[in-house]
Amino acid sequence: MNNPMIGLHHVTAISGGPQENIDFMTGTLGQRFIKRTVNFDAPDTYHLYYGDRDAAPGSVMTYFPFVNAGPGRAGNGMARALAYAVPVGALDAWIGRFAGDGVAFDGPHERFGERMIAVRAPDGLCIELIETARAQGDGPDDGFHGATLHIDRPEATARLLTQVFGYTDEGVERAGDATRRRFLAAGRGSVIDILSDPSAPSGRPGAGTIHHIAFRAKDNADQLSWRARAVEAGMDVTPVIDRQYFNAIYFREPGGVLFEIATDPPGFAVDEPMETLGQALMLPAQYEGKRKAIEAGLPEIRFPLPLKSL
Ligand code: ZN
């Protein structure tokens, strides 16, 4: 039997225009811009990556910014929120910072005994900051707390998380008709909440919605082992796909959310130095010959702001 799942590797969302996305993720949330590349399936669109200062798995948020994307709607069958971990006592500084910068947020609220706020990105994506004793560092470098999936009938997803992935069931919190069931792994980005809310609308993909969440495999062999277990559990899993910075497999879990399992290696320093991650447009080998045309077709973006510390 495998070791249990470590936690999240990355989360990928669809955003509006790339500049607003860069300004929000670096300027407002203080994330490091770690990779500027293109959507490998549609190279006229950027694929932008953000993470902690080490570009470590469990901190990596990626976006496909479509300038003309219609707004999506978080709802049933989708991941609906991503949460970053902040150390206990650090949330008030973030609240002060958002208030000072005119960034709208909801909260603070308490969830499973932890204080949290929810921020809306310019395209509407819900990003939460949650105070947790599991956080290690000084805020932007703490990586993910976890993600919330919106699933009306969560039983099959819960079985996948606990019986295949090895998450522990942490119980349920209720708010009105809605229930939030929490599952916990051991590593960074270890929390998966399943929100079931009969009054919520169905999800609609588009700007401001999460496309998929990716769990971590520690290497290629570990990934193949996870693949075999997911197939055995009845999932329709893709073959291994080379995503340049990791290998990926994908499947739709029983509640409808697109899951990925991504390898830690080779990582984001495979094609440029760790010190200068994100500064140049990186293209995989199959597009390098078309670099000029690809660059000409991409919207212009200003170089990301330097990291602001609190
Ligand atoms: Zn992915």
Q: Closest Cα partner for 82 from 98, 58, 57, 103?
A: 58
Note the pLDDT tens digit of each residue in 83-104. 999 999 999 999 999 999 899 9
For residue 101, the CA-to-ligand 1 centroid distance in Å is 31
pLDDT of 176 reads 85
For residue 34, the CA-to-ligand 1 centroid distance in Å is 15
For residue 175, the CA-to-ligand 1 centroid distance in Å is 31
Mean pLDDT of 110-125: 95
For residue 130, the CA-to-ligand 1 centroid distance in Å is 23
Tokens representing 28 are 């407002």
Given pLDDT bands bounded at 50, 70 and 90, which one contains residue 198? confident
For residue 41, the CA-to-ligand 1 centroid distance in Å is 12
CB atoms within 10 A of CB 7: 25
Given pLDDT bands bounded at 50, 70 and 90, which one contains residue 309? very low
Longest dimension (CA), the chain: 56
- Contact 200/74 with Cβ under 8 angstroms? no
Can you tell me which residue has the tokens 């390098």?
A: 288
Note the pLDDT tens digit of each residue in 263-276. 999 999 999 999 99
What DSSP element (H or E) covers 178?
strand 178-184
Mean pLDDT of 213-227: 97
Buried b (16+ CB within 10 A) or exposed e, 58-88: bbbbbbbbbeebeebbbbbbbbbbbbbbbbe
For residue 288, the CA-to-ligand 1 centroid distance in Å is 22
Mean pLDDT of 25-35: 93
For residue 89, the CA-to-ligand 1 centroid distance in Å is 32
Can you tell me which residue has the tokens 């204080």?
A: 115
Q: In this structure, are strands 191-196 and 144-150 parallel, antiparallel, or unpaired?
A: parallel
More confident residue, 72 or 305: 72
For residue 291, the CA-to-ligand 1 centroid distance in Å is 23
Percent of the chain whose predicted confidence (pLDDT) is above 70: 95
For residue 305, the CA-to-ligand 1 centroid distance in Å is 25
Q: Is the dihedral of CA 240, 242, 247, 253 positive or negative?
A: negative
Buried b (16+ CB within 10 A) or exposed e, 140-154: bbbbbbbbbbbbbeb
Domains (range + CATH), the chain:
8-297 (3.10.180.10)
Note the pLDDT tens digit of each residue in 127-160. 999 999 877 654 445 799 999 999 999 999 999 9
Mean pLDDT across the chain, nearest whole number? 92
For residue 100, the CA-to-ligand 1 centroid distance in Å is 33
pLDDT of 66 reads 86
Mean pLDDT of 285-306: 87
Note the pLDDT tens digit of each residue in 163-178. 999 999 999 999 888 9
Reduced to 3 states (helix: H, G, I; strand: E, B; else coil), residue 160 is: helix
pLDDT of 306 reads 54
- Contact 126/120 with Cβ under 8 angstroms? yes
pLDDT of 310 reads 44
Mean pLDDT of 67-79: 90
For residue 10, the CA-to-ligand 1 centroid distance in Å is 6
